[in-house]
Structures are given as C-alpha cells and as structure tokens.
C-alpha cells in the first residue's frame, strides 16, 4: 500500500483534534518505567501460550524533550522495539496539550519508522480530576507497509492513590482488516512512585481475544 494511505490518516486525525503515552512530557531528569503482561484468558493460563509482555520507558532529557522506549514481545518472538523522541507543539503549559513524536527501531522483524502526534486535556467529572487524550502513530516498515494506530484514553482519579482508565485501541493495517480493542484498567499506588495496574483487553472489531493485563509502574 502506498505511503500516503498510512500518513494521510495521521494528518487528518491531528487536524481534527493519551496506554501510557500522550502529549504530556516528563520533567527534566524524571523517569517513568512500566512493565506489563497480557495473557489470553481462554488458553494462555492453562498451556502457557498467548502471553504478551511489554516494556515502556520515558526520560526527560529537558522539560521540552522526552526520550522513550516502547518494546513488546509475544511468547515466541519479539514484536517491536521502538526508541522515540517527543516534544511539545506550542506552549507546554496550556490546558490542551499537543505533542509530536518520532521513533525508529524494529517492528515485525524489520526496520520501522514511527511518526506520531498526541492531543490531551485535563477534565473534571464533578469534583474528580481526570484527563482525555488521543494518540495517533503510523508504524511504517518494509516496502511502505505498516499500520495506523490510534488510542483514545479517558482517565479519572477517584482518590490520590487510584486511577481508573478506559482506553479504546484501534489499528488500520495495510495488510489486514482494521481492528478495535477496549482496555479498561485500575491503577493503585502502593508506595510513592510505585503503582500496580490490573485490567482487561477485549476485542470489539476484528479481534475476538479477551486478555488479562497486569502491570507495574515506577516513577523516579
């Protein structure tokens, strides 16, 4: 498929409007790490298959430049390892944040580029603070094949120790049908800078898997 069929949707989403990404940058010398495992509830627990592990990291090089790593592996092979840079578009202290991102690395065992853009805004539901964000990325590999990924995330902080997150994960691959997954999760702070996440990932369009997700977050 031509490159324009991957890149143009990214630009359309960007002009129309964060998982762990989003337009918010890390402060200088601040680091965030998360590790998670997803397992197929139908057979992954019983026979050891169907596991997907991920590592996500961000480090603030400056207050306006964040370095990151997004890596994931199935139970049998590595699926991606992308290093990226994120920087703000416009003022970094306004309520609605916009940030651009550019990454490169490996996807599907071949070299890949990953440009992206994120838009986010803090919200309030009654007296509860929260946020909403849209992240869109084009993973381009091979002969300009790839996938357009867009995540729409709504988060709420019911208490200083808890976060409730609902995320819609979508993808438009060049080599298969579009898909969509719903991923609700609960995040609990167990100590300063340390959180545990428990959630589900359920396919809603061209994805019939149902997975349990367990993760750990660290901030320092």
Predicted model pTM: 0.82
Residue 17: what pLDDT? 33
The distance of Cα 10 from the centroid of its chain, to the nearest Å, equals 15
Per-residue model confidence as pLDDT tens digits over 28-68? 999 999 999 988 876 555 555 567 889 999 999 999 999 99
Domain 4-219 has CATH 2.30.30.30: no
Residues 152-162 pLDDT 10s: 999 999 999 99
> In whole angstroms, how far apart are CA 116 and each of 52, 126, 191?
23, 32, 33
How many CB atoms lie under 10 A from the CB of residue 20? 21
Whether 200 contacts 192, CB under 8 Å:
no
Task: Give the per-residue SS3 of 6-21.
Answer: HHHHHHHHHHHCCCCC
Confidence bin at 20 (pLDDT 50/70/90): low
What is the reported pLDDT for 204? 81
The DSSP secondary-structure symbol of 91 reads -
Distance (Å, rounded) from C-alpha 24 to C-alpha 42?
36
């Amino acid at each position: 498929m031509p490159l324009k069929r991957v890149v143009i949707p990214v630009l359309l989403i960007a002009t129309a409007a964060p998982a762990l990404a989003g337009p918010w940058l890390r402060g200088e010398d601040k680091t965030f790490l998360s590790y998670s495992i997803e397992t197929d509830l139908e057979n992954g627990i019983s026979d050891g298959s169907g596991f997907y592990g991920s590592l996500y990291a961000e480090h603030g090089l400056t207050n306006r430049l964040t370095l990151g790593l997004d890596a994931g592996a199935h139970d049998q092979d590595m699926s991606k390892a992308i290093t990226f840079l994120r920087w703000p578009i416009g003022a970094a202290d306004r309520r609605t944040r916009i940030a651009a991102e550019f990454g490169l690395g490996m996807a599907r065992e071949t070299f890949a580029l990953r440009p992206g853009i994120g838009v986010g805004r803090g919200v309030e539901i009654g007296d509860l603070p929260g946020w909403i964000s849209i992240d869109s990325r084009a993973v381009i590999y091979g002969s300009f094949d790839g996938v357009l990924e867009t995540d729409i995330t709504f988060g709420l902080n019911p208490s200083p120790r808890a976060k409730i997150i609902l995320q819609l994960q979508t993808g438009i691959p060049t080599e298969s049908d579009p898909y969509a997954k719903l991923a609700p999760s609960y995040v609990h702070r167990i100590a300063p800078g340390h959180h545990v996440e428990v959630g589900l990932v359920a396919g809603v369009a061209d994805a019939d898997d149902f997975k349990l997700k367990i993760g750990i977050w660290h901030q320092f």
